[in-house]
Amino acid sequence: MMKPQRIQGEFQIQLEEAAHIIWKAIKPEIENSPSTRSKMKIKLEDDTIILKIESKDSTAFRAAMNSTLRWIKLAYDIIKLEKGDNLWNSQKTSNTN
């Protein structure tokens, strides 16, 4: 019988001057995650957040990864809005609509 498989991943997310604020904001969420099916670690190196996720199965891995990237994008967009910039990957909306 095939054993359930393990997945692990490491991500580097380059965030320039927003990196430190975002790291501080989401670190508690990452380290107190209630999930028993995934383990997450987060580090800050200069302008880059390094995220490590290890999960017992692909569904748990995707859930942990998607929620964490959503937090990072949300935090990033808040900082950009506060600076009056465009959102991270918003399409160039034409002024006519």
Q: Which residues bind its own copies (CB under 8 A)?
A: 1-18, 56-62, 65-66, 69, 72-73, 76, 79-80, 83, 85-86, 88-89
Cα separation values, 31 from 2, 12, 26, 27, 92, Å: 31, 18, 9, 6, 36
Q: Which is nearer to its own copies, 73 or 96 (CB)?
A: 73
Min dist CB 95 to its own copies, Å, is 18
Q: Which is nearer to its own copies, 12 or 31 (CB)?
A: 12
Task: State how far the Cα of 9 lies from the Cα of 61, in Å rounded to an integer.
Answer: 9
Separate counts of helices (H) and strands (E) for the chain? 2, 3
Min dist CB 60 to its own copies, Å, is 8
Pair type for strands 38-45 and 48-55: antiparallel
Min dist CB 40 to its own copies, Å, is 13
